[in-house]
Structure 1
Amino acid sequence: MASKPAQGDAYSLILEAIDVGLYRPGDRLVESELAERFGVSRTPIREALQRLETQALLTRDGRSLIVASLDHNQLAELYIVRTELEALAARLAARHATAEEIRVLQDMVADDQRYLGDPPALSRANRRFHHQIHLASHNRFLVQQLDLVHRSMALLATTSLAAEGRDNDALSEHDQIVRAIAARDEDRAAESLRIHISKAFVTRLKLDAARDDGLI
């Protein structure tokens, strides 16, 4: 008989559900419902929920736990930190990436063209691309901090890649980042990454403004 998932697996299952939009900011998470959905006993579910609350991915609403949301200031703070950490990762990748890691990044840029017009799939590919840059930095402490930042990104209800024309632009920016890394141009790699994140942030702010105005 197969064993049930452990606490770490329960955590990953819930985090993934939030990340893909199965649970959105403001949604209430109930132990019994999660246990049934994921086929996990309530104890690891409870431990996973406590861990997510500690990481501020969940918040209390009375006695209930709900998926947290980010206000404008929190969103700006998150992007400031993300921009600087991602730029540092690109700089270090230009310095330390192996030839094989650069080839993987180049292949990702080419392969991800197939996801144009499919925002959810492109969003997942985008996360893989950025994580590959993190790994290519060869700095475990930076990777850990970026993992924390990207967990918080799961609280964003939509992807900026859903905006019209943003998917093509984002992949073009990815190409520029990889070209700089391949050329071992640390300054250009860092600046290309900063520009990429800045454009994504502007797009997200426009999407949020349109949503607040009832335009989307």
Structure 2
Amino acid sequence: MRIITKAIKDETVLTENQLAKEFQVSRSPIREALRTLTTENLVRPERMGVVVVGISEKDIEEIYDIRLMVESFVFERLLHKDNGKLVGELEKLIEMMKIAVKYKDIDEFSFLDLEFHETIIRSIDHRYISMLWSNIKPVMECLILLSMRYRLEENDKDFERVIANHELIMESIANKDTDLINQAFYKNFNDVQNKVEQLWSNEEMMKIARESIEFK
């Protein structure tokens, strides 16, 4: 998360020994974490450890391009399936999102938001689509969490609109309404992407995001 918020600057060198000392753990979990960060293209391996690559606005756009392709494909498949069980699961997740908002548990809300979309993706039982989603999911989790934390600082009433977007998605799936699916999907997609890009382009917003992580 600190790499994504740029609390750790690009081109910073990180070593296993340094991180193991900071987090007071053995080198083994650190080594595994660095491998994960490497596969997510957030760091690159060097002889002495890894160098932080970070994430750019272009990277964010490309991540959302993949998300757009994945979810568009999934919604098309849902038009030809029995979605009764899926709609029931989505309804429960939305109720849990409402509870998270009530108690201002933004981390839980962010988790449920992503779980909502992942539940839809899993429902078509497509192994390679799931693999694509898994590849972008870790960074997506961070981006969504950051945008939601900032949203709480900016206007906590905005979460009602986020929930309404998800209810529209659920309704469109239940009715297999192509026009409504497109409307609901792009409304939610553009809302989240715009918030992330707005956050990324404003240093004051990024400062708030970094402070929210330190507070946590």
Name the counterpart of 1:145: 132
Deviation, structure 1 residue 133 = 0.8
Q: Which runs of 5+ in 2 are unaligned?
A: 209-216
Q: Using the TM superposition, give the Cα deviation of residue 137 of structure 1 relative to its aligned residue in structure 2, in angstroms.
A: 2.4
| 1:111 pairs with 2:96 | yes
Letter in 2 for 1:183: N
Higher relative contact order (CA 8 A, sep 6+): 1
Tell me if the contact between 1:94 and 1:182 (Cα under 8 Å) persists in the aligned partners: no
CA distance in 1, matches of 2:4, 2:206: 22
Greater CA drift, 122-131 or 206-215: 206-215
| Alignment match, 1:178 | 170
Counterpart pick for 1:49 among 6, 30, 34 = 34
Letter of the 1:86 counterpart: E
Query: Residue in 1 aligned with 2:212?
Result: none
Secondary structure in 2 aligned to 1:134? helix
Task: Work out which of the residue numbers 59, 76, 81 in structure 2 matches 1:74.
Answer: 59
1:6 is matched with none
Change beyond 3 A, Cα 1:197–1:48: same
Contact 1:94 1:184 in 2 (8 A): yes
Alpha-carbon distance between aligned partners in 1 of 2:22 and 2:158, rounded to the nearest angstrom = 38
| Distance in 1 between residues matched to 2:54 and 2:131, nearest whole Å | 22
Which amino acid counterpart does residue 102 of structure 1 have in structure 2? V
**What whole-Å deviation, never above 9, does each CA across 1:121-163 have from its counterpart, x for those lacking one?**
2111111111101111222211111111222324539522231
| Runs (5+) with no aligned partner, structure 1 | 1-17
Q: Give aligned pairs, total.
A: 196
Q: 1:104 to 1:154 in 2, by over 3 A?
A: closer
Q: 2: distance between equivalents of 1:166 and 1:65? A: 39
Change in CA separation of 1:60 and 1:118 when aligned onto 2, cut-off 3 Å? same
Matches within 5 A, 1:117-128: 117-128=104-115
> Normalising by the residue count of structure 1, what TM-score does the alignment of the two structures yield?
0.73
Q: Percent identity?
A: 19
Q: Tell me the distance in 2 between the aligned counterparts of 1:159 and 1:170.
A: 15
